[in-house]
């Protein structure tokens, strides 16, 4: 499609070197005014458009930041992106977004596409199926700062902005206990992601601290979707004793759990109290609004952007900051 | 951060021209083997990384497609993007996404950031506040094909993939009539977007075809959000005669309408039947699931990608295709 005129074409026409053309176009004082005028006239005649990207190649600055998330259609991730944009846009940065769809190969290819776009920084929440992290090293070697949000990899010289998932799990479970629950089951997510391990650890510690048992079968691992929540409840409702509360590490699984409980003739919260995780918009629209953990995603995105801005101001030293955001429990009818 | 070694640096060290360095790096046969080896050795010594982007500048192909949507957190847009990716990814294309947030300046800057990323194509759903379309011409002048989806601008040589919004409005209204509604109000969106005008035209034609009046005040214009739905119902419930059905051009406005009706002690669907638009996920999770129009966004995205692939195969002639997708009514309890 694109038959681009290059500085080499202009140089050839004028019988000068490409370096001279380049210097003339960039107003280098070494170039005489007459040469500069000749070059500009020829560039104009040949419809040469000085590519901003080519300039970026020289200056090493594109004012563009790349963001990679597993999915853009989770409220949590789209709100983080909104936070990043709100912070960076007034500073003259543009944000381009890619989704990994939890696939290592797609994540790697996203990184390459973004590096080719000459991004000045990369903000990423790691795909849960990524096992090999060479593509992260590759970005760092190019001296492009990387900032992790929510899901991170332990790497030197990389800043992170995460939620205190342990505290979130602890507070959610404690809230159920305080409201009278005595047999609390937990729907956990994919343990490849440490966020789910930390939420579970908080849940377990809250039980221990309040002298409450965690009978076998009370922790159900599954995907974070409606189907997994339904399946988990089918399993839980065969146990003896029956749980009187569920803390789900995902709102979608919580929704599936509530639908399944209803189908089995159980009432929420009268028979089983439920707490979800993420504050997805639907949780507050429900017939019985769902208690959930708000992760302050806007704030998380703004923090990630702030850490990036600090990093680009201090180009000599890589900054390693670890910002931890406090969870906020949104108490609604499903757990009371 | 990035102190990039350029071909000029290599040229200077070897006392040859940058053009020679470039040709050597690109295996141009005009360059002697000894020069090529010298250049490669120096490039290696100086840690020069031949930038894929620089290659893209030469070849004019980056295998990257840019997508610009108003918001990524609307299910409709994120599903379209998923459709685009599913179609393009197996063909070796990567997708980078920007959001305009319905702002003309942001849209323009998105376009520039994407052009700088050397995109091979641009797929866009226009911001509703965009009045000046020069930035679209700018992209076309760069010979980057543009494809509109859902919201379009009338431009020569540009393909479009849209929903039959007229038919959608007609079918939704007819469905309410067939189910016994006799006084049907309409919540419309921003008339700057022709999609809302077409939905309303379909609504009006269905009323005419079934000899049903549209009393004054029955069409309420507003933003497509919960607040607008609530406000509209407050207005509608002062009218005489009272509507017994609402066709909303937005699911969020429909949700607001239902919440307001409930607050006023009206039952859905017994007192007022409601139909929304977009098949947002929450519509099926509600206590009374909401009847809505499915726009087949996955299919829309896949079609847009297919039109793009056809376009890049035929680089000589710009293809102007207008694909229209049929709406699908999802009938649920709120309208029965």
Confidence of residue A153 (pLDDT cuts 50, 70, 90): confident
The shortest C-alpha distance from A58 to chain B (Å) reads 7
Alpha helices of chain B — where are they, by DSSP H?
A: 7-14, 18-25, 33-45, 52-59, 75-88, 104-116, 134-141, 165-178, 194-209, 226-236, 251-263, 282-285, 297-313
From the CA of B240, how many Å to the nearest CA of chain A? 30
Angstrom distance (rounded) from CA B71 to CA A79: 11
Q: Identify all chain A residues contacting B287, using CB atoms and an 8 Å cutoff.
A: 286-287
- pLDDT computed for residue A48 by the predictor: 76
Q: What is the pLDDT of residue A124?
A: 97
Confidence band (pLDDT; 50, 70, 90) for A316?
A: low
- The alpha carbon of residue B72 is apart from the nearest alpha carbon of chain A, in Å, by 6
Q: Which residue has the higher pLDDT, B44 or B121?
A: B121
* Surface of A (181-240) touching B: CB under 8 A: none
Same domain, B159 and B306: yes
Residue A50: the pLDDT is 62
Alpha carbon distance B229, B236 (integer Å): 10
Which range is most confident: A56-60, A162-166, B191-195? A162-166
If pLDDT is split at 50, 70 and 90, which confidence band does A51 have?
A: low
As a whole number of angstroms, the distance between CA A97 and CA A65 comes to 9
The answer to whether the CB atoms of A72 and B78 lie below 8 A apart is yes
Contact B67, B289 (CB under 8 A): no
Beta-bridge partners for B161: B149, B323
Asked, for residue A109, whether it belongs to a domain, the answer is yes
Closest-CA residue to B39 (of B1, B80, B86, B7): B7
A116 touches chain B (CB under 8 A): yes
> By the 8 A CB rule, do B159 and B185 touch?
no
* Residue that the structure tokens 């431009």 belong to: B155
Q: Which residues of B touch A118 (CB under 8 A)?
A: 53, 116-117
Q: DSSP assignment of B189-256, as one string? A: --TTSHHHHHHHHHHHHHHHHTT----TT-EEE--SSHHHHHHHHHHHTTSSSPPSEEEESSHHHHHH
- Please give the sequence-ordered ranges of beta strands (E in DSSP) within chain A, or none if there are none: 64-69, 94-99, 121-124, 146-149, 159-163, 184-188, 219-221, 245-248, 273-275, 292-294, 322-325, 328-330
**Cβ A2–B60 below 8 Å, yes or no?**
yes
Q: Any CB–CB contact under 8 A between A99 and chain B? A: yes
What residues 56-85 of chain B have any CB closer than 8 A to a CB of chain A?
Answer: 56-58, 60-64, 66, 71-73, 75, 78-79, 81-82, 85
pLDDT at B194 over 50: yes
Query: What was the ipTM of the complex prediction?
Result: 0.72
Residue A57 domain-assigned (yes or no): no
C-beta separation of B122 from B65 below 8 A:
yes
Cβ distance of A99 and B98 shorter than 8 Å? no
Asked whether residue B57 is assigned to any structural domain, the reply reads: no
A-chain residues near B120 (CB < 8 A): 1
- A156 and A276 in a single domain? The answer is no
Check: CB of residue A278 under 8 Å from CB of residue A293. Answer: yes
**Chain A environment of B145 (Cβ under 8 Å):** 1
Looking at the partner chain, which of A49, A53, A255 has a beta carbon nearest the beta carbon of B118? A53
| Mean pLDDT of chain A, nearest integer | 90
A146 and A124 Cβ atoms separated by less than 8 Å: yes
pLDDT score, position B50: 62
Question: Cβ–Cβ of A57/B72 closer than 8 Å?
Answer: no
Residues A153 and A208 in one domain: no
Q: Nearest CA to B85 among B72, B70, B103?
A: B72
The total of other beta-carbon atoms located within 10 Å of residue A197's CB is: 18
Contact B53 A117 (CB under 8 A): yes
Would you place residue B208 in the very low, low, confident or very high pLDDT band (cuts 50, 70, 90)?
very high
Percent of chain B topping pLDDT 70: 94
What is the average per-residue pLDDT within B257-278? 96
Give the count of domains, chain B. Answer: 3
Q: For residues A1-37, b (16+ Cβ closer than 10 Å) or e, as one string? A: eeebebbbbbbeebebbbbbbbbbbeeeeebeeebbe
Q: Are residues A306 and A280 in the same domain?
A: no
pLDDT tier for residue A60 given thresholds of 50, 70 and 90: low
Residue A56 is assigned to a structural domain of this protein: no
A chain contacts of residue B113, beta-carbon cutoff 8 Å: 62-64, 94, 96, 117
For residue B186, give the H/E element and its range. strand B184-188
Q: Are residues B258 and B190 in the same domain?
A: yes
pLDDT in tens, B58-89: 455 788 999 999 999 888 899 999 999 999 99
B312 vs A contacts (CB less than 8 Å): 1
Give the minimum alpha-carbon distance from A73 to chain B in angstroms, rounded to a whole number. 6
pLDDT at position B11 over 60? yes
User: Are A138 and A71 in a shared domain?
Assistant: yes
Q: Are B121 and B145 in contact (CB under 8 A)?
A: yes
- A201: distance to nearest CA of chain B, Å? 31
| B55 inside domain | no
- Tokens 């853009």 label which residue? A72
pLDDT of B300 > 90? The answer is yes
Does residue A273 sit in the same domain as residue A175? Answer: yes
Under 8 Å between Cβ of A176 and A184: yes
Indicate which CATH number applies to the domain containing B40: 1.10.260.40
In angstroms, the CA B261 to CA B246 distance is 11
Q: What is the DSSP letter of A290?
A: P
| Contact check, Cβ <8 Å, B2/A142 | yes
Q: Is A120 within 8 Å of chain B by CB?
A: yes
H or E element in which residue A14 lies: helix A7-14
Q: Which residue of B has its CA nearest to A259?
A: B285
- Residue A88's nearest CA partner among B96, B112, B4, B106 is B106
Length of chain B: 336
Residues 250-309 of A with CB under 8 A from B: 255, 281-282, 285-287
Work out the minimum CA distance from A194 to partner chain B, whole angstroms: 25
Q: Which residue reads 């007459």 in tokens? A: A34
For residue B118, the enclosing domain spans 62-163+297-325
Q: What is the DSSP letter of B313?
A: H
The verdict on a CB contact (< 8 Å) between B315 and A114 is: no
Cα–Cα distance for residue pair A213/A17, rounded to 1 Å = 80
Answer yes or no: do A92 and A66 share one domain.
yes
Q: Is B30 on the interface with A (CB under 8 A)?
A: no
pLDDT given for residue A30 in this prediction: 80
pTM of the shown model? 0.76
pLDDT above 60 (res B52): no
Q: Which residue of B has its CA nearest to A142?
A: B2
- Asked if A22's CB is within 8 angstroms of B17's CB, the reply is no
CATH number, residue A92: 3.40.50.2300
Cα distances (Å, whole numbers) of residue A180 to A101, A173, A210, A249, B142? 39, 11, 12, 20, 66
Distance of CA B222 to the CA centre of its chain: 21
Query: B75: which chain A residues are within 8 Å (Cβ-Cβ)?
Result: 73
Query: What angle in degrees, to the nearest 10, is found between the helix axes of B18-25 and B7-14?
Result: 110
Is residue A140 less than 8 Å (CB to CB) from chain B? no
- Is residue A95, in this structure, part of any structural domain at all? yes
Q: Cβ atoms within 10 A of the Cβ of A141, count?
A: 10
B98 vs A contacts (CB less than 8 Å): 94-97
Is the same domain home to A172 and A260? yes
Residues A307 and A284 grouped into a single domain: no
CA B34 to chain A, closest CA, distance in angstroms equals 22
Express each pLDDT in B106-124 by its tens digit: 999 999 889 888 899 999 9
Domain for residue A190, yes or no?
A: yes
Nearest 5°: CA angle at B136, between B134 and B138?
70
- Please name the residue of chain B whose CA is at the shortest distance from the CA of residue A19: B18
Residue B54 confidence (pLDDT) above 70: no
Range scoring the smallest mean pLDDT among A182-186, A259-263, B286-290, B325-329: B286-290
Lowest-confidence segment of A36-45, B94-103, B202-211 by average pLDDT:
A36-45
Cβ-Cβ contacts under 8 Å, B116 against chain A: 51-53, 56, 62, 64, 117-118
Mean pLDDT taken over chain B: 90
Question: Residue B53 — pLDDT band, cuts 50, 70, 90?
Answer: very low
* pLDDT level of residue A40 (50, 70, 90 thresholds): confident
HSE-CB of A92 using CA atoms within 13 angstroms: 4
pLDDT at B56: 47
How are beta strands A121-124 and B159-163 bridged, if at all?
unpaired
pLDDT score, position B1: 37
* Preferred mutation among B3, B96, B147 to probe A, highest tally of A CBs within 10 A: B96
- Spatial CA neighbour of B62 closest among B19, B95, B109: B95
Nearest CA distance, B50 vs chain A (angstrom): 11
Based on the fold, state whether residues B80 and B155 are members of the same structural domain: yes
Can you spell out the DSSP letters for A182-240? -SEEEEE--TTSHHHHHHHHHHHHHHHHTT----TT-EEE--SSHHHHHHHHHHHTTSS
Closest by Cα among A335, A191, A316, A164 to A257: A335
Does residue A270 sit in the same domain as residue A221? yes
Residue B56 lies in a domain: no
- Measured in whole angstroms, the distance separating CA A10 from the mean position of its chain's CA atoms is 45
Spell out which residues of chain A touch residue B143, defining contact as CB-CB under 8 Å.
1-3
Chain B residues touching A66 at Cβ < 8 A? 96
DSSP assignment, residue B291? B
User: What sign does the CA torsion over A40, A42, A45, A49 have?
Assistant: negative
Asked if B144 and B119 touch (Cβ cutoff 8 Å), the reply is yes
Kindly state the average pLDDT of the residues A61-85: 91
């Amino acid at each position: 499609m694109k038959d681009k005129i290059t500085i080499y074409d202009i140089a050839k026409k004028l019988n000068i070197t490409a370096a001279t053309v380049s210097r003339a176009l960039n107003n280098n004082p070494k170039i005489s005014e007459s040469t500069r005028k000749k070059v500009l006239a020829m560039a104009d005649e040949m419809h040469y458009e000085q590519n901003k990207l080519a300039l970026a190649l020289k200056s090493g600055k594109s004012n563009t930041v790349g963001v990679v998330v597993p999915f853009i259609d989770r409220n949590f991730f789209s709100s983080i992106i909104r936070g990043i944009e709100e912070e960076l846009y007034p500073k003259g940065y543009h944000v381009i977004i890619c989704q990994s769809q939890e696939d290592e190969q797609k994540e790697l290819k996203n990184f390459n596409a973004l590096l080719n776009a000459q991004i000045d920084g990369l903000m990423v929440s790691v795909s849960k199926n990524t096992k090999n992290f060479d593509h992260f090293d590759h970005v760092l070697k190019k001296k492009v700062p990387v900032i992790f949000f929510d899901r991170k990899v332990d790497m030197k010289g990389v800043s992170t902005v995460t939620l205190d998932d342990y505290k979130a799990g602890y507070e959610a479970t404690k809230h159920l206990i305080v409201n009278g629950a005595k047999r609390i089951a937990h729907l956990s997510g994919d343990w490849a992601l440490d966020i789910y391990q930390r939420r579970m650890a908080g849940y377990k510690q809250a039980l221990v601290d309040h002298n409450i048992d965690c009978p076998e079968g009370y922790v159900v691992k599954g995907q974070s979707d409606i189907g997994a929540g339904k399946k988990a409840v089918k399993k839980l409702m065969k146990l003896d004793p029956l749980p009187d509360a569920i803390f789900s590490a995902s709102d979608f699984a919580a929704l599936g759990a509530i639908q399944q409980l209803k189908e089995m003739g159980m009432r929420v919260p009268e028979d089983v109290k439920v707490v979800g995780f993420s504050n997805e918009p639907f949780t507050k629209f429900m017939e019985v609004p769902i208690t959930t953990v708000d992760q302050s995603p806007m704030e998380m995105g703004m923090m990630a952007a702030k850490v990036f801005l600090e990093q680009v101001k201090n180009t000599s030293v890589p900054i390693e900051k670890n910002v931890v955001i406090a969870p906020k429990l949104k108490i609604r009818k499903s757990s009371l």
